[in-house]
Structure formats: C-alpha cells, structure tokens
C-alpha cells in the first residue's frame, strides 16, 4: 500500500451488518475534531459486507478477524501495527489516538 503526497493512511474494515461499524460511521467519524485530524490522511475503506471469499482473503492478508478494524499506515506505506484499532471508539478517544498516529507518521 502506498500513501500519496507524503501523507499516511487509515484503512477501515467495514460491513453493513456490523453494529459497531455503523456506530463509528454515525458518531465518531463525522465529529468535527475527528474530521479535522483525518483530513491529513488518505482514507481507505474495505466494505466486507458480503463476507465472501474475496473479503475473507483480504481480511486474512491483513490479519483482521472481522470489522470494525482500523489500520494505520505511515508515509512509506508500512502498517503502524502498534496503532491498530479493533472495535468501537468514542470521538474523544479516537481523536486522541489519531493525534498519536499523526505524531508517529
């Protein structure tokens, strides 16, 4: 995975049947502070709603059991494994995490 324009990336594994994914989409991602922090990253999302062979292969390739899982990549396209998130996060907690990711990129 390559990040463009010297920015890092956030890769979000999402599914329509995932209650916690929907909570993140509704409560966390739209929050102005979160949006401001995300503006500095390339945003990618894998919709694994179908949970078919392709989705299973993608999740296996990244070591993801299922959504919600959020992976972060540095400016060189390497996953920042220490910053991986699994599950739901409130806006304040997610903002703090994003600040740490951005500082480490």
What are the chain's domains?
Answer: 14-104 (3.40.30.10)
Alpha-carbon gap, residue 6 to 42, rounded angstroms: 10
Mean pLDDT value of segment 73-101? 96
List Cα–Cα distances, 74 to 5, 8, 85, 92, 103, in angstroms: 12, 5, 15, 22, 10
pLDDT tens, 36-53? 999 989 999 999 999 999
pLDDT-derived band at 7 (thresholds 50, 70, 90) equals confident
* pLDDT over threshold 90, residue 3: no
Which pLDDT score, from 0 to 100, does residue 18 have? 97
pLDDT score at 1: 45
Q: How high is the pLDDT of residue 31?
A: 97
Q: What is the mean pLDDT of residues 58-71?
A: 97
Instruction: Please give the average per-residue pLDDT across 25-38, as a whole number.
Output: 97
The number of beta carbons lying within 10 Å of the beta carbon of residue 73 is: 23
Instruction: State how far the Cα of 101 lies from the Cα of 71, in Å rounded to an integer.
Output: 10
Q: Provide CB contacts within 8 A for 101, sequence distance 6+.
A: 8, 10, 72, 80, 83
Q: Is the pLDDT of residue 4 over 80?
A: no
Model-level pTM greater than 0.85?
yes
CA–CA separation, 56 and 105 (whole Å): 28
């Amino acid at each position: 995975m390559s990040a463009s324009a010297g920015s890092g990336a956030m890769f979000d594994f999402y599914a329509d049947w995932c209650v916690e994914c929907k909570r993140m989409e509704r409560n966390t991602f739209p929050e102005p502070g979160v949006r401001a922090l995300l503006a500095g990253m390339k945003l990618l999302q894998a919709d694994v709603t179908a949970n078919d062979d392709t989705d299973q292969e993608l999740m296996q390739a990244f070591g993801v059991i299922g959504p919600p899982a959020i992976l972060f990549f540095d400016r060189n396209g390497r996953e920042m494994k220490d910053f991986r998130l699994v599950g739901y996060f409130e806006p304040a907690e997610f903002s703090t995490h994003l600040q740490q990711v951005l500082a480490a990129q």
